[in-house]
Structure 1
Amino acid sequence: MLTAEVGTYMYEYQRDCTIESGADASLVASAEENHRIPDDGRLDTFAVCMLKKYNVLHKDGSVNQDVRSYTIFSDDIEEGRKREMCKNKTGRDVGETARKITNCLSK
């Protein structure tokens, strides 16, 4: 189970990325509830921001290949294998790539 401190960090990241990306808060809440970012592109910038905060994406938008350095908080013992698989997801741009990686990690 994740600690309250981790929950606070996750909330702050989500709040900050909602503001930075200009995403509609109701869309973010729906994506969180459904554990999936819709494929319509409206939350791609939000996904990029979140993955940068978790060190999955570098500042330039490229995918960080060192999955051990990701700061994704999880109590899933299979997380390492999932990260290895998900880091290889790609899209036509950084936003689509971020969405695909986020959705893969959320499964």
Structure 2
Amino acid sequence: MLIGRIYLLLLFLVIFHVVEGYSYVYVYEVTTADRRFQTASKLSPDTFLLSHGGKDLIKELKIVKVYADKDFKKALKEFKLENENVNVLLPKKAPDDRSINPYTWWR
């Protein structure tokens, strides 16, 4: 009897965790070594990161906005992701490592 109640409680917690994990639509800004883009997904940030290459491939993962599960089409429309679910952005500018006086080293 006690084992049955524990089993039902664990089953309920697992179902609740799975439903809770996929109850949002995330709009991400993904930065790789050579690309930066926006995309929408129902995957949580940790799951998205692990299923798309992890830290080896994705250098930065930023959550732009979170919607309810039923608003997936709204998220696609608002961020103009309807056609391919990707919106290519300009790459981030690398810091300029040139010094102000470039030829002072040989003087």
What TM-score does the superposition give when structure 1 sets the normalisation length?
0.27
What TM-score does the superposition give when structure 2 sets the normalisation length?
0.27
Name the structure with the higher helix share.
1
Instruction: Name the larger-Rg structure.
Output: 2
